[in-house]
Amino acid sequence: MLSRVEGKVSTLLMVGALSLGVTLGFAPVTPAAAQTRALPDFTDLVDKVGPSVVNIRTVERVTRRGGPEMDEEMQEFFRRFFGQPFPGNPNPGGPGPRGRSEPREEERPRGVGSGFILTTDGFVMTNAHVVDGASEVLVTLPDKREFKAKIVGADKRTDVAVVKIEASGLPAVKVGDVSKLRVGEWVMAIGSPFGLDNTVTAGIVSAKQRDTGDYLPFIQTDVAINPGNSGGPLINMQGEVIGINSQIYSRSGGFMGISFSIPIDEAARVSDQLRATGRVSRGRIGVQIDQVTKDVAESIGLGKPEGALVRSVEEGSPGEKAGIQAGDIITAFDGKKVDRPSDLPRLVGNTKPGSNSTVSVFRRGKTIELKVTVGEFETEQQAKAQAPKEPTPTESAASPVAKAMGLQVADLSEEQKRELKVKGGVLVEAAGDASARAGLREGDVILAVGNVEVSNVKEFNNALSKADKSKPVNMLFRRGDWAQYALVRPSR
């Protein structure tokens, strides 16, 4: 009798436990096969995109001058134990006068990279550094057909290049929408790492909008990318190209889990110009910019650190003609917000030269709108930083408030103003204590104190006396052609 009761109780307990498990949401045991099916399957993507990915080999021609001839045994010794010919006689040619070989031109393999077919008529996209300096470019398709390619154009600033092969009916890739790409999404790469053609690797998107270049916000992934992958496509799970594999972060030269790809929308804009004209035309306004720090943003009333601090304005540039001044903070361009300094070159660079645009600048505690006619960025233009000019000493004026901060200042002469291209300001003759700790030094020219422009020592003292001494006092100053802010913290 007792055993039958115990049996019923045991059955009830088991049923209750199962019901409780359902109530609490315990997941039922899933077969291993079902779990495997939940993982991403890249096989169809490889079949779809693989035929569009090409191997790119480059060759350069070099002129060799041989040295004295040596016998075959000595040449073989150098080849075996040093992995190269004898230094004085590489790839020896026929002997010339006095036992020296004549100069000869030879082709030397330069590098291996990847690319992908952009159009069915033979336009191929890759990295600019893959074809840079190459005298000949060879493109090999997955079906082993090989073509000599013509370099249509290459843009070093974005590391995008387009080459052309004479073929038709080629399998072109499908371009995806980068704006829909999400962090954590699975992606795949196909390329030729270390010359191993059609190698497939996969991973996830680690981050977007990585600032590692002047003109491009990169896509960061953990997809294994190695030398030879450069120029190959980054592919989403729909089989669409969303980037060009371009860079890796590495301390060893090999993959370390961080790779960077050029967003395909940015690359497409560059390739369109390269195919149309062979070069890229970019806008410029002629300003040198820097980051806005949190302390500076708070002290000048900007609130949060955003925008691009104008350090200098090139003479005669579109920016100068528009009225942009050193010390301004550019917060928007053509209505598009500038959150970081790197945003501005991209916005301006993507603007067609000759366009009339609007620049929003924060100056002396308020935002003003300026009209600028965008100029054209010259190819390979080098910014020439001028050395700071040392103003001629002038007679000092008494400044007890400034001296309390370790500052001794003087008026600028008209000649100095013309030399420095400033309308006013005061010359720092000595900087110590708090002002020195803030970064000021002899020869600097202070243009504004606490968002108030100063033209002479009297105005400087007035502005300084009205500043809140319990807080850091912001001072806009020029050093040579560069402007920046100093936060002078009063001594306690």
- Domain holding 310, by residue range, is 285-376
In SS3 terms, the chain reads as: CHHHHHHHHHHHHHHHHHHHHHHHCCCCCCCHHHHHHHCCCCHHHHHHHHHHEEEEEEEEEEEECCCECCCHHHHHHHHHHHCCCCCCCCCCCCECHHHEECCEEEEEEEEEEEEEECCCCCEEEECHHHHCCCCEEEEECCCCCEEEEEEEEEECCCCEEEEECCCCCCCCCEECCHHHCCCCCEEEEEECHHHCCCEEEEEEEEEEEEECCCCCEEEEECCCCCCCCCCCEEECCCCEEEEEEEEECCCCCCCCCCEEEEEHHHHHHHHHHHHHHCCCCCEECCEEEECCCHHHHHHHCCCCCCCEEEEEECCCCHHHHHCCCCCCEEEEECCEECCCCCHHHHHHHCCCCCCEEEEEEEECCEEEEEEEECEECCCCCCCCCCCCCCCCCCCECCCHHHHHCCEEEEECCHHHHHHHCCCCCEEEEEECHHHHHCCCCCCCEEEEECCEECCCHHHHHHHHHHCCCCCCEEEEEEECCEEEEEEECCCC
- The answer to whether position 17 is within a domain reads no
What integer pLDDT is reported at residue 62 of this predicted model? Answer: 64
pLDDT band at 226 (very low <50, low <70, confident <90, very high): confident
Is 222 tagged catalytic?
Answer: no
- Rounded-to-integer distance, Cα 265 and Cα 270, Å: 9
Q: Where residue 482 sits, what CATH number does that domain have?
A: 2.30.42.10
- The answer to whether position 383 is within a domain reads no
Stretch 333-348: mean pLDDT, rounded?
A: 91
Annotated catalytic residue, options 114, 206, 230, 342: 230
- The answer to whether position 371 is within a domain reads yes
Indicate whether 214 and 292 sit together in one domain: no
Structure tokens at 332: 């928007």
- Say what the pTM is: 0.66
Give the tens place of pLDDT for each residue, 95-133: 454 455 566 666 667 678 999 999 999 999 999 999 998
**One-letter identity of residue 116:** F
Give the tens place of pLDDT for each residue, 23-51: 444 445 455 555 545 678 899 999 999 99
Indicate whether 222 and 154 sit together in one domain: no
Stretch 1-8: mean pLDDT, rounded?
A: 45
**Domain end call among 337, 361, 376:** 376
- The answer to whether position 443 is within a domain reads yes
- The number of C-alpha atoms within 13 Å of 45 and in the hemisphere containing its C-beta is 20
- The number of folded domains in the chain is 4
- The answer to whether position 382 is within a domain reads no
Find residue 368's DSSP bridge partners.
361
Q: Where residue 220 sits, what CATH number does that domain have?
A: 2.40.10.10
What integer pLDDT is reported at residue 111 of this predicted model? Answer: 79
Structure tokens at 90: 């590489």
405: left (phi over 0), alpha (psi -120 to 50) or beta: alpha
- Per mean pLDDT, which range of 183-187, 299-303, 400-404 is the poorest? 400-404
Indicate whether 160 and 131 sit together in one domain: yes
Annotated catalytic residue, options 159, 328, 444, 481: 159
Structure tokens at 423: 């309308």
Give the tens place of pLDDT for each residue, 447-491: 988 888 888 888 888 888 887 777 888 888 888 878 888 888 766
- The answer to whether position 29 is within a domain reads no
What integer pLDDT is reported at residue 210 of this predicted model? Answer: 82
More confident call, 454 vs 13: 454
Indicate whether 113 and 74 sit together in one domain: yes
What integer pLDDT is reported at residue 16 of this predicted model? Answer: 45
What integer pLDDT is reported at residue 57 of this predicted model? Answer: 93
Block residue for tokens 């350069």: 60
Is 129 tagged catalytic?
Answer: yes
Beta carbons of 282 and 180 less than 8 angstroms apart:
no
Indicate whether 195 and 153 sit together in one domain: no
Beta carbons of 124 and 131 less than 8 angstroms apart:
no
Indicate whether 194 and 273 sit together in one domain: yes
Highest mean pLDDT among 191-195, 274-278, 299-303, 402-406: 274-278
Indicate whether 191 and 218 sit together in one domain: yes
Annotated catalytic residue, options 129, 265, 396, 455: 129
- Rounded-to-integer distance, Cα 241 and Cα 353, Å: 29
Indicate whether 67 and 149 sit together in one domain: yes
More confident call, 390 vs 185: 185
Indicate whether 69 and 118 sit together in one domain: yes
Q: Cα 194 to chain center, whole Å?
A: 25
Indicate whether 208 and 155 sit together in one domain: no
Indicate whether 199 and 146 sit together in one domain: no
- The answer to whether position 389 is within a domain reads no
Find the distance separating the first CA and the last CA of the chain, reported in whole Å: 92
Of 317, 280, 255, nearest to 157 (Cα)?
280
Mean pLDDT of the chain: 80
Indicate whether 262 and 291 sit together in one domain: no
- The answer to whether position 444 is within a domain reads yes
